[in-house]
Structure 1
Amino acid sequence: MNRSNCLWCCGIMGVCLTILGTILLPLLGPGVSKILAKELELTEGTSGWESFIFTPIPVYFQIWVWNLTNPEHFLNGEKPHLEQRGPYTYRLIMFKENLVENDNYTVSYTSPTGYVYVDDMSVGPSSEVFTTVNVVAFTAAALARSFGNSTDDRVHQALHLLSDAKILMTVSVDGFMWGYEDPYLKYINDLTNVSLPTKFGVFIGSNMTSDSVWTVNTGGDDIAKLNIIDNVNGKSSLDYWRTDYANMINGSDGTFMHPELDAEKDNRVYIYVGIICRAAHLDYESKYKRDGILFYRYNVTEYLLAHPSINPDNADFCDIAGNCPPSGLINLTVCNYGAPLFGSLPHFLYGDKELTVNVSGMNPNEEEHRVYLDKDPLTGATMIIQVRAQLNFKVEKYDHLKETQYLKETYLPVVWLNESCDLDDEFVKYYKTSVLLPLNFALALFITILVIGCGLLFGTLITVYKDYRERKNPKKHKPTNMKEVHEKPQLERFTSQTPLENDFTDIVNDKPQTTL
């Protein structure tokens, strides 16, 4: 192949590769978007469906209890001294069952959760005991007061005395969470001779059971609505609060949302949290990389838990009488059968100063006690979770309960919880090989095609231009070395002389020279 044909081939190839790279590179983004929308749709057979049914990352549920170390002094009106004990750790078995794909691009399901105790991640066995308030006794006292007549107070007083109950109790961690025999319930069961439940526990009956039917959007008609809650138990709103705004069930369950998150457009995510009986929002904080994976961090801010004087939206979450708890507390009374129960972050993080002043043992630390979700912006999946909550009982004086006569109004922490998950090596490897590797390979391939095409094209153009300049302005031959410079004039001199001149020159050169 001669030089001209070679240049033609390189030029044509350069043009073709440049055009191909220029077309393919802009199509990579829309192409990835289309693939993600198809694969993440909550439809049987997709990658999103598999992760939707079975959580691919290990999830743990940890418990810290607050042990009351000065019970006698507390009953005499002194500040309660609390000692944190924990964690007591469970591995969560999370899955979805009874799945029904509906015609309106939604899917309904139940979501039972199993709890398996993990000894080597716990401070001790769950049979360890601690001292705290009698939850049932204070709930009954609050209900009797709310009814507003003395008869109910006297009935509760009689029940309290006859059942030999106390307003403080010592109970095992396992019993407090999953059920212990309560004196009130046992007395009523024995008195009526009817088979009634005699046990009470904060999470009693929730191990491997689910009493809620969730319906969420599949993203089939609009990927932006992926996993957004449509209704819970057939209801698209709650009925606990005073306004439609407060009763909204909006957002997702927090596990994942639409792909290709934008830090500016998606600067706030909403999730519905059943344990606090309302939806909440987390705000975008920052982005970072870990194990080669990019994450967006969303966290609960102090503003979400602020008093209505600071955050007016929280006025809708006050009780019917308009009574609002201090900053840092969420009123859970309305959705827990009248129990004087209030939620907060652990150690009253972001709470009003009075909360930590009235009890000892609180050491709020933002890094250890805040709530955040770390999302993969490409898929919208939440891969790192730290969801923390503290349950507090409002204790105060009740006239019909003699034991409470010296109590001061206090929000007493009982237990705090942390549901968490983190990346493990197996998932990181799977994610990199299944998601990042194909994407990065395609990007590198398209860029390589474009670079090679541009290189060939510009190289060909430069070569053609140089050839053109040389043909238009030819230059005289220049000697290439010193030997040529000295030998060429001498050769020309000898070839131009006649034979006689040559002989004469030889004689002159052989004759010794003399100096005058």
Structure 2
Amino acid sequence: MLLRQWICGGISIVLFVVGAGLLTAGLIIVLSVFPNTIENTVKTSKILGLNQDGTLNIFTNSWSKPTYISTKEYWTFDYTNTIGILNRAIFPDVREKGPYAYDEKINNDHISFTPDGEKMTFSQTVTYVFNADKSCKTCDPKKDTVTIPDISFFKGIQIIDHLIETVLHNKLLNVVCNLKYSKEKCSEIGKTIEKEISVAMSLFKVEPFVTVTVDELLFSGYNSPLIEKLINRIIQIMNTLLGDERFQKKPMITVKLNSENGTTDTVYTAQTGKTDWSKTGYIISFANLTNASLPSLGNRLPNSWWPSAATANCKDDYGEHALKIEGTNANFFKSFIKKTETLPVYIADVCRSTRLVFEKEVKVNGIPGYRFILPASEFDYTLEENCGFCRTLQFGAYDKPKNSSCLPSGLLDISGCQNGRHQQIYLGNPIIISKPHFYQASPIVQAFVPRFSPSYSDETTIDIEPTTGALLSAKKKLQINMLVNQFTKIGAYSVIRPGAYPLVWLNESSILDEDTKQNLQTKLFTPQNTVQIACWTAVGVGGSYHETSSNY
């Protein structure tokens, strides 16, 4: 009996020691060793750089030629009540058609590194190829036409408006006129000139709305009827009246929403992550290959892009907030993302940096991720921090009078933006960016197009695998609008309701391809699950040994 008790006690001690060892080892591996191993592996592998033989490392090579399935879809707006808009100031009514889908092929080229390996320069080209299978059944961009506000028309009207001001307020002409006629007669002559310009516009069939094919609007472009038929003739008449060549003829403007298809003018400099893994791919600055666009000022955007940032209205660091270049270009993100974080991104299409916020957990093709969205607060001009993104209204719009400091919330005026991607359409033209269908914009903006029904489906969403920062799925949505103004000196266009008139809305979507999915599964989730199962089994066995030992 004594021997049996001694043997049982020994077995109990052995089981206790083994159980404690398995329990401790399992907990250490699950809670410490494995997470640290994963973290170190991700941090060291996610650096933009070269192998010892001078070739691009695995991460850089996969980034340079992404295999994600990328598509850009466009929905066009066809205006159906242009006469009412011009003559009775009624709200615009549009028919929406689409999507016109284009496969995107993205290449990051001309990659080079600084000697210390901390910075990298590159250029990005995107090639678009129409995909009929992804488009609506009847969509044919080369045959389908839309009637839209003519971007170049309203820029041209500003030129004419300036010419009228110049002539009617020219001191020499006023002196000559007053010598020959009465002051009242001279005033009548001025009004006659204004009327004649309106007549000339009708004669040459130059109107604020133009009918073009979808392909012309998006890629191939159309020539400005106003400049071609009218402005240069008016300039010639003005120069004759003034007796010199004071006004130069305007070059022909080709209008298209995409001026870069397979080409680029911009060279970016980014951090490689060598010294700070949390900022891998962060854009530091950009330059240009030609003089078609402006370079950044170090890590700051050109002052002319957001001039309000330097005014007295922007206090503290709010102006710098508008001009600061921060974040990746949203192709990938930092590793080990937390739900409480905001993710900075630089978006060249809207000429500014912005921040994404966590919304919810999601699964993309079976892979768990975090969904981040573009919050309404980024375009809320009641917030003082957004003062730098305001632009003084030259003519007034909505309930905002002339010279107001800012548009209503939800609209972003990028008319001062001069970058290679949109140089032809943005610079000097009253281009306004918003979320599709004016989602989350001020009520007065949403009411401007009564047919619109904005909803969550108009939101930009970015789904990210939080451990690696890999992009699982993205739907980057925006709407391109044109700010239409009233021109009181040109009678035919003095009634039109001022506001943002939509041209197109688009969805640039990306989703991980099968190879990327398998890589994540085999290199991250399968080992992670296997180790955790094994370690928790060890914990379970250890716990059972403890239970067994207590029974002896």
Question: What TM-score range do you get, normalising by the shorter chain?
Answer: 0.7 to 0.9
CA spacing shift, 1:92–1:189, aligned 2, 3 Å: farther
User: Structure 1: how far apart are the matches of 2:348 and 2:18?
Assistant: 62
Q: Which of 279, 296, 316 is residue 388 of structure 2 equivalent to?
A: 316
TM-score by length of 1: 0.79
Greater mean alpha carbon deviation, residues 161-170 or residues 101-110? 161-170
Q: Which of 95, 116, 131 is residue 83 of structure 1 equivalent to?
A: 95
Determine what percentage of the aligned residue pairs are the same residue.
21
- Aligned partner letter, 2:264: S
Unaligned 5+ segments in structure 2 are: 51-55, 170-192, 237-248, 288-294, 310-319, 393-402, 418-425
Look up the SS of the partner of 1:76 in the other structure. helix
- Aligned partner letter, 2:483: K
Corresponding residue number in structure 2 for 1:38: 44
How many residues are treated as equivalent by the alignment?
Answer: 455
TM-score by length of 2: 0.74
What aligned pairs does 1:86-485 form with structure 2 within 5 A after superposition? 86-102=98-114, 103=116, 105-123=118-136, 124-127=139-142, 128-142=144-158, 149-151=165-167, 165-178=206-219, 179-184=221-226, 186=228, 199-204=254-259, 206-233=260-287, 235=296, 236-238=299-301, 239=303, 240-241=305-306, 242-243=308-309, 244-264=320-340, 266=341, 268-308=342-382, 311-320=383-392, 323-335=405-417, 336-366=426-456, 368-423=457-512, 425=514, 427-453=516-542, 455-456=544-545, 459=548, 461-462=549-550, 466=552
User: Structure 2: how far apart are the matches of 1:181 and 1:115?
Assistant: 22
Measured against aligned partners, the alpha-carbon deviations of 1:344-376 in whole angstroms (never above 9, x if no partner) come to: 11111111222233333211112x211121111
Conserved 8 A contact 2:49-2:57: yes
CA spacing shift, 1:346–1:99, aligned 2, 3 Å: same
1:51 to partner: Cα distance: 3.0
1:34 to partner: Cα distance: 0.5
Corresponding residue number in structure 1 for 2:190: none
CA spacing shift, 1:181–1:148, aligned 2, 3 Å: closer
Look up the SS of the partner of 1:120 in the other structure. coil
Measured against aligned partners, the alpha-carbon deviations of 1:414-463 in whole angstroms (never above 9, x if no partner) come to: 1111111234555433421232112222222333344445545664x447
Corresponding residue number in structure 1 for 2:75: 64
- Aligned partner letter, 1:24: I
Unaligned 5+ segments in structure 1 are: 467-516
Look up the SS of the partner of 1:389 in the other structure. strand
User: Structure 2: how far apart are the matches of 1:407 and 1:201?
Assistant: 24
User: Structure 2: how far apart are the matches of 1:19 and 1:355?
Assistant: 62
CA spacing shift, 1:196–1:306, aligned 2, 3 Å: closer
Please identify the structure whose Cα radius of gyration is greater. Answer: 1
Greater mean alpha carbon deviation, residues 396-405 or residues 103-112? 396-405
- Aligned partner letter, 2:270: V
- Aligned partner letter, 2:300: S
1:15 to partner: Cα distance: 6.1
User: Structure 2: how far apart are the matches of 1:11 and 1:408?
Assistant: 84
CA spacing shift, 1:148–1:435, aligned 2, 3 Å: farther
Measured against aligned partners, the alpha-carbon deviations of 1:233-252 in whole angstroms (never above 9, x if no partner) come to: 26311122232221111122
CA spacing shift, 1:358–1:458, aligned 2, 3 Å: closer
Asked which structure has the greater RCO (Cα within 8 Å, sep 6+), the reply is 2
